[in-house]
Amino acid sequence: DAGVTQSPTHLIKTRGQQVTLRCSPKSGHDTVSWYQQALGQGPQFIFQYYEEEERQRGNFPDRFSGHQFPNYSSELNVNALLLGDSALYLCASSLKDRLTKYIQYFGAGTRLSVL
């Protein structure tokens, strides 16, 4: 049973560019959340997608956008990259089931470096 998979594992971009990160949820999961983790900090919630719609959003600018596809996979897009966007981007999936919906399963992340 594959867990949460993210691609690519590493990425280098320059300021002003745009980037797309991809996530495939754990088999059977229908909800995807994205987090940003700066070095030495805990992950910060960006947004969550369910039924192809953004259900909740954290304190991130509109440069951060996302999408969920019918197969539940998801993309995170960041426009006009800033140096401060350099971080580990984590995807987490969960299942909208009464007993387990609040347990999130994380991928290993995509390390984004902005130069």
Partner 1 sequence: DAKTTQPNSMESNEEEPVHLPCNHSTISGTDYIHWYRQLPSQGPEYVIHGLTSNVNNRMASLAIAEDRKSSTLILHRATLRDAAVYYCILRPSGGGSNYKLTFGKGTLLTVNP
- Please work out the total of residues on this chain that contact partner 1, with binding judged by CB under 8 A: 24
Which of 10-18, 60-68, 76-84, 104-112 is the region at the interface with partner 1 (rule: CB under 8 A)? 104-112
DSSP structure string for 80-104: S--GGG-EEEEEEEE---TTTTT--
All residues at 6 or more sequence positions from 105 whose CB lies less than 8 Å from its CB, including other chains: 3, 4, 26, 29, 92, 93, 94
**CB of residue 52 to partner 1, shortest distance in Å:** 16
Q: Is 74 in the site for partner 1 (CB under 8 A)?
A: no
- Binding residues for partner 1, rule: CB under 8 A, are 4, 31, 33, 35, 40-45, 48, 55-56, 58, 90, 92, 102-109
